[in-house]
Amino acid sequence: MRLILLGPPGAGKGTQAQRLVEKHGIPQLSTGDMLRAAVKAETEVGKRAKAVMDAGELVSDEIVNAIVAERIDQDDCARGFILDGYPRTLVQADAVADMLAERGMFLDVVIELVVDDKALVGRILKRAEEARAAGQPVRKDDNAEVFDERLREYYKKTAPLIGYYYANDLLQQVDGMAAMDDVTAQIEEIIAATLR
Ligand code: ADP
């Protein structure tokens, strides 16, 4: 199964992706996590991405596409994967379609977590607060100022993917404002129907 989770920052993609990993035994490919790991390891990619990420803007399509192409060739992706935070631009959406076609693969479904913008900044600030309380590092982009820019980037560059996948008959929507377990249940229903 190959699926994409789509939605603005703070929509709950990461949480739901984790649950899908556990239930279906396929990996979560989070470009945000991959980029943060590159920044931490101070690789060439990490050095190029750091300032852009800290400002809440998008890293170049070229960098992100290359990271994903490399990742999906690893053995654990053979049975499928969950893309979380990728694709985030129309160029990336075309790139992933090409990547999969070259490998004789296809996308099963794109699930959009539909949320109320006003709730998002609160969720992000809560995530930062929880990390702080647990003594974990707080993401540099998890604050109200950078969040605004992340949301703007989402509307400018990522939201057009909703129309793109709708037109490709791949889009399914879930109510991302429902309780976490309800969101999971909605997603599982879509997956069951898709694989039927
Ligand atoms: P969010 O919580 O906003 O969904 P992520 O953890 O997915 O954030 O990503 C954090 C940052 O990493 C983004 O703001 C962006 O700078 C960069 N990034 C992640 N995925 C992509 C992508 N597919 N294309 C470009 N930049 C990306």
Rounded-to-integer distance, Cα 190 and Cα 18, Å: 17
Q: Which band of pLDDT confidence, cut at 50, 70 and 90, is reported for residue 166?
A: very high
- Find the mean pLDDT for residues 34-39: 96
Model-level pTM? Answer: 0.93
Q: What is the mean pLDDT of the chain?
A: 96
Atom index in ligand 1 nearest the CA of residue 49 equals: 16
- Rounded to the nearest angstrom, the distance between the alpha carbon of 32 and the centre of ligand 1 is 4
Which residue is closest in CA terms to ligand 1's atom 7?
A: 32
What confidence score (pLDDT) does residue 174 get? Answer: 98
154 CA to centre of ligand 1 in angstroms = 10
88 catalytic residue (yes or no) = yes
CA–CA gap between residue 143 and residue 9 (Å, rounded): 12
Average pLDDT over residues 165-192: 98
Name the nearest CA neighbour of 31 among 77, 88, 80.
88
Ligand 1 midpoint to CA 196 (Å): 32
Q: Is the CB of 45 under 6 A from ligand 1?
A: no
Active site annotation includes 139: yes
Give the model's confidence band at 43: pLDDT under 50 very low, under 70 low, under 90 confident, else very high. Answer: very high
How far is CA 112 from each of CA 33, 115, 118, 119, 187, rounded to the nearest angstrom?
20, 9, 17, 16, 10
**Dist. CA 195–CA 15, nearest whole Å:** 22
The yes-or-no answer on residue 132 being catalytic is no
pLDDT at 196 over 90: no
Q: Which of 58, 91, 140, 155 has most ligand 1 atoms within 8 Å of its beta carbon, as the pocket-test mutant?
A: 58
31: Cβ below 6 Å to ligand 1? yes
